[in-house]
Structure 1
Amino acid sequence: MTQRSLHARHRAPRLALLAAAGLLAVGSATAATLTLNETGSSLLYPLFNLWVPAYTKANPEVQINTASTGSGTGIAQSIEGLVQFGASDAYLSDAQMKKNPEMLNIPVAISSQMVNYNVPGLNNVHLKLSGAVLAGMYDGRVRYWDAPALKQLNPGVALPHHLIVTVHRTDGSGDTFMFSQFLSFTDKTWEQKVGYGTSVNWPAVQGAIGANGNPGMVSAVRSTPYSVAYIGVSFQNQTQKDGLGEAMLQNRAGNFVMINKKTVPAAAAAMVPKTPKDERISMIYAPGAESYPIINYEYVMVKATQPNAATAAQIRKFLSWAVSTEGGNSLVFLKQVNFLPLPASARALTLQQINQIH
């Protein structure tokens, strides 16, 4: 027996033991694979699920896991260090930042929110709704679809005398944050009694329904006649497929507008220049004749300090790709979820934040 074959004979059992113990990597790519985890916003989730396969195909050294758990969970788990990316439609409050100064609020796109309804015979009519009337619907001051406040906004529309069924999120939600901000900014009673947040104490209203995530909101409205709900724009294709009504919302200028190629960019143009260095800003109820009143940055919450240099480098690389117009901010991705890319000034601020990750 040659020296080489003798050496191979002794090495084979050891390799088998290592393989059985899971200590032997199969191929260099497997050995180098680093796993990153994302959880949070159900509004941002469809975009992450478009991004990840495209990115990891070109970057096989990294694996990215995604989960739709609501912005509240995304914020909490990113702060706790349980995930690398906490997806959120809401930025951290001053109080949260004071407790967690290491957190970065990194915008990756601009989104908006619809108000949808299921009113038999009227789902093909874009009913006009204001923040104040929606606040009344959600706290019980406006109880029927033919209430005077709704008739006044929709003259000539045959509104039914049927109890309004409001649908709200039960999970901690950036969509709730956006919607409750809109109600707070437009109605003093709501501002004083309920306020805004990723979770709020919803007023006890007869027939009100709670739902989990944007998919749950869509399902609840679809299956419940005379219901109304707030739903993220990344689910617009589904709401249209299901034949749900979509409201025209009254903006700060008093005009009734819908989400389209003019109104969301108009609101963004009014608010993006006001973005501070840390990019925590509400873009709800923007000024401007054409501005759509419920738009926001979609955030990824990340700790500035990571456990090691390799993880920090992969996070920086992925996020830089995500906000690049040749990468994740390409219309190839954003059009599918009805988002807008970051304007150049916001992208510059975002890249400054990304570069703080170490």
Structure 2
Amino acid sequence: MMTAARRNSFVARATVALAAAMLGAHAYAQQVTLTETGSTLLAPLFETWRDAYAKAHPDVRLSVGATGSQAGIDQAIAGNMNIGASDAFMSDADAMKHPQIISVPLAIAAQTINYNVPGLNDAHLKLDGPTLAGIYTGAIRAWDAPQIAALNPGMHLPHHDIVPVRRSEGSGDTFVFTQFLTFSTPSWEDSLGYGTTIAWPGVPGALAVAGNAGVVNALKTTPYSVGYVGVSYTKDIAAAQLGTAALKNGAGEFVLPTKATIMAGAASLGARTPADERLSLVFAPASGTYPLVNYEYAVVSTRQPSPALAAEIRKFLEWSIVPSEQNAAYLEAVHFIPLPPHTWELSTNQIESIK
């Protein structure tokens, strides 16, 4: 259990370090570059962190890449990147094979289900896991299918083929979305399961695109399409005038992705987070919870090439999660929420293991 004294000590250390950096008291005369790649959902936050961290630590440069969560995990394991950004935690197989690699939550995020149905984008269509599973297997082909009509009584649904949009690369968004389908739909669990990549069924007209920006653009330019998008792209979704679905949660309620419902989803399951922090927050059973919630991870090796590099990585990761109004504002800008105290302490413990 985290003590108030430890939390206050950590915040005090981070504050002192920030003040020293702003006054020009730098530990290194030569610039250090920390490399990051991975999640496109995390990319907008890392870009904000990059600029803010450079102001506080002029001797440290953060290189940011958006290549998809699986690429982030793979590059961290290979030692090609200091930090792999991922919406997905490492699989059991990878965790056992690479015990030096840790998955450290930095924040909490969510995915939204968006669609482009002419005349209905201002409405919040109701969808559930089994219906989305039917769309992505091709069992449900039209927007006025009985399964969708039953969830949306009184809604005038068009008789038009649905165009499902998915990610083409190994993606943490796919990981979270397919977890939702797995946990809510026994037939999906039995046949397809979840992962950053899966054996997607061949659905006529389906689109596979790279990155969250690619999904938003595909939805914008393809009438009658549906897809899953990271919540950090909320402004892009609004600019594209896409609809956002209300999803059926584990308590049987249809809920929208709001700060309150995302926080409720995280709170419902977050207390179960184990020491290695590999835990799904998807499809919580409690009332008022949004079902597509996830930790945002830094995938990092605890065995760094030098103590100096390890210290810089620890310093940056501790800075990124330190409780403060400024850090909360960075998260709010991309519709993320801070780690709760239990998870914050676990993340701090993992960060301190980087040597």
1:254-279: CA deviations, max 9, x gaps? 00000113211111111110000010
Could you tell me how far apart the structure 1 residues matched to 2:65 and 2:28 are? 23
What pairs up with 1:270-349 in 2 under 5 angstroms?
Answer: 270-326=268-324, 330-349=327-346
8 Å Cα contact 1:29-1:60 kept in structure 2: no
Which letter does structure 1 place at the counterpart of 2:346? L
Report the 3-state secondary structure (helix = DSSP H, G, I; strand = E; otherwise coil) of the residue aligned with 1:262: helix
Could you tell me how far apart the structure 1 residues matched to 2:279 and 2:267 are? 14
8 Å Cα contact 1:140-1:205 kept in structure 2: yes
1:270-314: CA deviations, max 9, x gaps? 111000001000110011110000100000000001000110000
Could you tell me how far apart the structure 2 residues matched to 1:50 and 1:303 are? 23
TM-score (norm 2): 0.91
Which letter does structure 1 place at the counterpart of 2:173? D
Residues 327 and 353 (structure 1), Cα distance of their counterparts in 2 relative to 1, 3 Å cut: farther
Query: Of 160, 177, 188, which aligns to 2:186?
Result: 188
Match of 2:204 in 1: 206
**Structure with the greater alpha carbon radius of gyration:** 1
8 Å Cα contact 2:109-2:295 kept in structure 1: yes
Which letter does structure 1 place at the counterpart of 2:282? I
Match of 1:39 in 2: 37
Structure 1 residues without counterparts, runs of 5 or longer: 1-27
Q: CA deviation at 1:331?
A: 2.1
Which letter does structure 1 place at the counterpart of 2:45? L
Report the 3-state secondary structure (helix = DSSP H, G, I; strand = E; otherwise coil) of the residue aligned with 1:56: helix
What pairs up with 1:80-229 in 2 under 5 angstroms?
Answer: 80-229=78-227
Report the 3-state secondary structure (helix = DSSP H, G, I; strand = E; otherwise coil) of the residue aligned with 1:292: coil
TM-score (norm 1): 0.91
8 Å Cα contact 1:321-1:327 kept in structure 2: no
Q: CA deviation at 1:31?
A: 4.8
1:144-179: CA deviations, max 9, x gaps? 000000000000000000000000000100000000
8 Å Cα contact 2:173-2:230 kept in structure 1: yes
Report the 3-state secondary structure (helix = DSSP H, G, I; strand = E; otherwise coil) of the residue aligned with 2:286: coil
8 Å Cα contact 2:259-2:335 kept in structure 1: no
Percent identical residues: 49
Could you tell me how far apart the structure 1 residues matched to 2:58 and 2:268 are? 40
Query: Aligned-residue CA RMSD in angstroms?
Result: 1.2
Which letter does structure 1 place at the counterpart of 2:349? Q
Matched length: 330
Q: CA deviation at 1:326?
A: 2.3
Which letter does structure 2 place at the counterpart of 1:348? E
Could you tell me how far apart the structure 2 residues matched to 1:282 and 1:334 are? 20
Which letter does structure 1 place at the counterpart of 2:175? F
Match of 1:230 in 2: 228
